[in-house]
Amino acid sequence: MGDNISWPTLAVILAAGQGTRMRSPLPKVMHLVDDRPLLGHVLAAVGAADIEHCAVVVGAGSRVVADYVKQAAPSVRTFTQNEQLGTAHALLAARPALQAHEQGCVLVLFGDSPLISPQTLLQLRQALIEGAAVAVAGFHTERPGPYGRLLVERGRLLAIREARDANPQELEVNFCNGGVMGLRADTCLWLLDRIGNQNAQGEYYLTDAVAVANSAGLPVTAVEVDEAEVLGVNDREQLQAAEQLFQQRRRGQ
C-alpha cells in the first residue's frame, strides 16, 4: 500500500430504528444526552475525525430526524429505509452514496451510540488502510451474556456468533461485537449484495459481511475498543447510563 493512495472515508450512520422500547413518539436517535440528540453526538464524532463524507439512513416517516440532520449538518446526505429488514438492508438504502465512493473506506455507525469517539473511527479506518477488507469494533466484557461473540484466530476474525447460536465453548468468549464496522470501499457493495436473509427473522444482517468476506478469502480483523464507546441506547435505562458516562468522561478530561 503506497503512501500515494488516498483514503477518502464515507461514514454511514444508521438511524432508522423506531425505538419502541423508549416508550415515546420521538424517534430513538432524537433522545437527548447532555442536551444534544444521540445522533448529534455521532455526527460530532464524524466531524472531529475529519471524515470527508457522511450519510444518514433514516426510517420512513422520520421527518424529524431528516430535518435535524439538515439543520445540524447541512452537507450530510440522508437516505430513507422504507422497510425495516435488517442492518445490511439499512446500509444499502444509502447505495447511491456507496456507489459514488469507489475508493477508500466506508465506516458504518449507529445513530444511538452517543459515546463513539473520533479515535475509534480512525482506528477502524487504519485497519482498512493496513489491508483488512472488513474491520469490526469489539470489546471485552465481564458480562458477555446477550452479545454476539467475536471468534478470532491468529489475528483473523473468523466469525461473529450470535449468543443464541453459540455453542458452550463459544459462549465462554468475552470478546464481543460492538456493531461499528469498517469496509473497504472497493469490495463493500460486492459483499453487501451477497448477504442473504436465511435466518429466523428473514432479515439482512451486516454482521454476515464477516462470513461472506472470509469465504471469499478477504482479510477480516477485529479492532478492540472500550465498551462504553459502543453503548447503544435502546431504552430509558440505557439513556440514563449514557448520560452518566458522558458526564464522567467530561469530568475526567
CATH number of the CATH domain containing 36: 3.90.550.10
**Residue predicted with more confidence, 8 or 6:** 8
Integer Cα distance of 224 and 138 in angstroms:
5
The pLDDT value given to residue 199: 84
The pLDDT value given to residue 4: 37
* pLDDT over threshold 60, residue 171: yes
Is residue 2 situated within a structural domain?
A: no
175-185 average pLDDT score: 97
Residues identified as active-site:
21
By residue range, what is the domain housing residue 18? 9-252
Is residue 3 situated within a structural domain?
A: no
156-175 average pLDDT score: 94
104-108 average pLDDT score: 98
* pLDDT over threshold 80, residue 32: yes
Is residue 79 situated within a structural domain?
A: yes
Count H helices and E strands in the chain, helices first.
9, 11
The pLDDT value given to residue 23: 86
Share the mean pLDDT of the chain: 94
Cα dihedral sign, 28-18-241-204: negative
How many domains are there within the chain?
1
* 3-state SS class at 23: coil
Integer Cα distance of 113 and 202 in angstroms:
25
**Residue length, the chain?**
253
Burial bucket for residue 1 (CB in 10 Å: 0-12, 13-18, 19+): exposed
In Å, the largest CA–CA distance within the chain is 51
Is residue 145 situated within a structural domain?
A: yes
Cell numbers linked to 197? 436473509
Is residue 1 situated within a structural domain?
A: no
Cα dihedral sign, 55-107-174-225: negative
CA proximity to 61, closest of 96, 26, 31: 26
Integer Cα distance of 70 and 42 in angstroms:
15
Q: How far is CA 34 from CA 11, 112, 176, 241, 245, in A?
A: 23, 14, 27, 12, 11
Q: How far is CA 237 from CA 137, 189, 234, 240, in A?
A: 24, 36, 8, 5
Percent of the chain with pLDDT over 90: 89
* pLDDT over threshold 80, residue 1: no
- pTM for the whole structure: 0.95
* pLDDT over threshold 70, residue 3: no
